Amino acid sequence: MNVTLLGLIAGGHSGVPRYAAKLLEALDAVSPGYRSLTLSVVTTESGAETIAPHNLRMEIVAGRGRRANAGPGRILLEQWQARRASGDLLHFFDTSGPVLAPRRPFVTTFHDAAPIHGFRRFHNTYKLKLFPWALTHARAVVAVSQFAKDEAVQYFGTAPGKIEVIHSGPGLGPAAATAREPRNETDEPFLLYVGNIGVNKNLPLLIRVYHGTDVAARLVLAGNPREGASDVIAAIRGGRRARDIEVVERPSDVELDRLYRTAVALVLPSTYEGFGFTPLEAMARGCPVLASDIPAVREIAGDGALLIEPNAQADWADAIRRIIADDALRDQLRRRGDKTVRRYSWEKTAHALMRVFERALAGR
């Protein structure tokens, strides 16, 4: 049986493109063990460079331009490729489906219900129609967390029995996970935030907390500007420690790896996540984690992180002071984080997805 992986999104940036790229790498590695399945991937030049497959059959349908790798251009191109693709089963790495070929059997991936919660209203408007269609017509649905599955059932009425929870791997993945980089005595310590700089990340609260503390550490915000970025910049400029806050836009994987390994701690104050790569990425690199006590992060990070109520400003201030001053706490979180992150791997994710393909095709 032939499975066509619609992997155009792997050429983009941010969380879901990274998920697609790392999972495609893992599928490429495990696919020889599944003789009943032949996998092919449709992607762009950027996607092909990112995943560099050895075993997957690959079709490159566009170049490196942003229009083909992100946004409406990528979505339209993906729909056209889904219509013309061969294969007994199609797979989408985000919540989509072959709208132009509605009778084609497919598997879709559910990451979160962000459109329902009003995040990025303009950008996500089309998803309010696409999500219900894809979840209803898919032969099987992959949810990246139990929390995501629960939201698919609650907000879109998806049948629980057709949803398989398959946890993602540890973000950047084990290929980059080497020993924690030692700090030089002359290096200025810093707290690190990694993620989209947008409305669901609660960054204005984090910045207000930081302005109100006297900790001997900078604050580095690394990510892609999104809706709400202007509020973040205003919060930075409106406080007394503006010069101590650095914004690193669109960091490469190499830059992220270095930041994780040299930061005092990761701070993730999100009010909403469907999975949350960044705690696992940090844990894999020996970086202690302070994170919001919200369902998805609680499910994925567990006791590997110090969890804090997302809107408790005083609690965040106390946690930041403690993580800077308390060597024993940092060491404890590193040990707990290492134990937690060992439960996740892209290889496990790939094997679980291959079994979903087998079951979906058996039910044809």
- At residue 240 the predicted structure's pLDDT band, cuts being 50, 70 and 90, is very high
Residue 176 predicted with pLDDT over 50 = no
Q: What is the pLDDT of residue 306?
A: 98
Q: What is the Cβ-side half-sphere exposure of residue 218, based on CA atoms within 13 angstroms? A: 17
- 174-341 domain in CATH 3.40.50.2000? yes
- Do residues 267 and 238 touch, judged by C-beta distance below 8 A? no
Beta bridge partners of 309: none
Residue 182 predicted with pLDDT over 60 = no
Alpha carbon 254 to its chain's center? 17
> What span, in angstroms and rounded, lies between the C-alpha atoms of 308 and 360?
40
Residue type, 102: P
Q: What is the pLDDT of residue 119?
A: 73
> What span, in angstroms and rounded, lies between the C-alpha atoms of 57 and 39?
6
Which CATH class for the 2-169+345-362 domain? alpha beta
- Do residues 99 and 78 touch, judged by C-beta distance below 8 A? no
Q: What average pLDDT does this structure show over 197-205? A: 85
- At residue 179 the predicted structure's pLDDT band, cuts being 50, 70 and 90, is very low
Q: What is the pLDDT of residue 173?
A: 58
Q: What is the pLDDT of residue 177?
A: 42
Q: What is the pLDDT of residue 122?
A: 59
pLDDT tens-digit series, residues 95-114:
999 999 999 999 999 999 98
- Please choose, from the candidates 178, 169, 174, 171, the residue with its C-alpha nearest in 3D space to the C-alpha of residue 266: 171
Q: What average pLDDT does this structure show over 316-321? A: 98
Q: What is the pLDDT of residue 65?
A: 79
Most confident of 74-83, 155-164, 172-181: 155-164
Q: What is the Cβ-side half-sphere exposure of residue 336, based on CA atoms within 13 angstroms? A: 18
Q: Domain ranges for the chain, please list them.
A: 2-169+345-362, 174-341
Decide whether 2-169+345-362 matches 174-341 in CATH topology.
yes
Q: What is the pLDDT of residue 185?
A: 42
> What span, in angstroms and rounded, lies between the C-alpha atoms of 62 and 122?
26
Query: Would you call 120 exposed, middle or buried from its count of C-beta atoms within 10 A (0-12, 13-18, 19+)?
Result: middle
Q: What is the pLDDT of residue 155?
A: 96
